[in-house]
Amino acid sequence: MEKNVLVVIGVGGMGLAIARRCGSGKKVILADFNEQTLAAAAEQLRIEGHDVTEHRVDVSDLDSVTKLAQDAAAEGPVLQVAHTAGLSPVQAPTDAIIKVDLLGVAYVLDAFAEVIASGGAGVVIASMAGHFAADSVPLEMAKALSLTPTDQLSELPFLGEGALPNPGAAYSIAKRANALRVQAAAGVWGQRGARINSISPGIISTPMGNAELDGESGQQMRGMIAASATGRTGTPDDIAAATAFLLDAQQSSFITGTDLLVDGGAVAGVRWHMNAG
């Protein structure tokens, strides 16, 4: 019997947790750029009883993403897509972050809009950094990030070489763009009877998150944790639970084109302290 397909792009801490949480009874397509990481994640899930197919993908390459979408559709009805792949400021320079975190998401939204099944749903992992960036992104820039055709995105002057001062700035604007493009894509996905949303995690205990805590912004991030209502870092399971909710056709059938902030109250805490007194 043909199984419904779950596609998980990026198989680090959050991607693996999502595949484990949502993959039971489905054909799970795991996709990642790093073949060793991909093989290890796939083997672990197979040991746990999941039906897994590996697919190497470079999300910064349109042809690679398009092939992933087409291959996934060949396996069965693509009902769930979770895009977690990304680079953080300590991992990559500005241009790579724009290619992977911004263009990569745009490519995934476009490619899977062509194959997502009726009743299906997608989730893009953005970041709370996009919420902080919202105040510094003027309306015209937001419109450009939302509506510029994907093949012209990299030509926007405020994304060009030298326009962004550092990888942190590139990351913030890319994550703001993720939420905006998801909002803009909701209508296209809706024409296929499908939904698309984003999740903005806070500081999550993953290899990427821990590397950021050990980096230049670590002290600031610890201050954000201390200011948050929960007073802790998040776990990959926290994000997987939110993803499972947004991908579930019964629990969230009236939710599309929106961003869910899953940050333990960090953004609220920072804003409250900024405005207090």
Catalogue the active-site residues.
Answer: 171, 175
For residue 102, what are the contacts with CB-CB under 8 A and spacing of at least 6? 153, 159, 173, 174, 177, 178
The neighbour count for residue 176, using CB atoms within 10 Å, is 27
CA 113 centroid distance within chain:
16
Q: Compute the distance between CA of residue 18 and CA of residue 198 in angstroms, rounded to an integer.
A: 14
For residue 141, what are the contacts with CB-CB under 8 A and spacing of at least 6? 158
Q: Compute the distance between CA of residue 248 and CA of residue 27 in angstroms, rounded to an integer.
A: 16
Give the E-state strand segments of the chain in sequence order: 5-9, 27-32, 51-56, 78-83, 116-125, 195-201, 259-262
Q: Compute the distance between CA of residue 174 and CA of residue 148 in angstroms, rounded to an integer.
A: 14
What is the β-pairing status of strands 5-9 and 27-32?
parallel
Which DSSP symbol is given to 137? S
